[in-house]
Structure 1
Amino acid sequence: MNLKLLSLGVFSAVSVSPFLMPSFTPKAAAGCVAVDVAAQVAVDGSRTRSQSNNVNQRFDPNCSGGSVTSVGNQVCVSTKCEQRRTSNQSVSGNGGYNTGGRNINIKVNPRVHVYNRAADPNFLNKR
């Protein structure tokens, strides 16, 4: 009899625990989100990279619920590539519903430079 009661008690605790767990875990809270994704690809005859990507992300005080996304790509195939990019993001949201969470800023900005000796005007002179 005690084994049946113990089994019933364990079963009851296990079956109810998924409903009790959310009350023990802290809630996720976020302010605002800014995402910048930009790729720069250069295939040229220069051995030095000439690429820059400047990203500024600003959040209003007490920002909550706002989001902004910026996407940009630059591709250059030439004898000499110069790539310059500036992105300014400003995020505001409903401060009246501030969750107290942190603002999230994400920057994904790969820069790829490939030297192409066929595009180098001075390649034959360097040998």
Structure 2
Amino acid sequence: MMNFLVKTIANAAALAVAIWLIGGITLTGGNTGDKVLALLAVTLLFGLVNAVVKPVVNLLAFPLFVLTLGLITLVINALMLMLTSWLADVVDLDFHVDGFGAALLGALIVSVVSWALNVAIPERD
């Protein structure tokens, strides 16, 4: 349970950095508390999308992984971020990604920041 909590907070921090750096990714809300709760909800939604949808897409896109030497991963991550934005709109969360370009940059930032935080924070058994 502690490992899940640490990874969720690391992903929330990665999403927060992407929201802060990319103008096309927005998280709106009333006060800071509402924004933090919305960010945690979006993080859980993003984790659910990455746990359920992404493995299926990766399996179907396997020939593209070979053809592009793995660069298709950035496109798939961007699509997962756009899907999270769409689902957030469905469940009435104030998170939005404006277009594929913002999603691509956001996915790159989320991947790098999440990787760095997961390296810095050791995994506990």
Q: Same fold (TM over 0.5)?
A: no
The structure that has the greater radius of gyration is: 1
When the two structures are superposed, what TM-score results if normalisation uses the length of structure 2?
A: 0.23
> Which has the larger share of helix?
2
When the two structures are superposed, what TM-score results if normalisation uses the length of structure 1?
A: 0.23
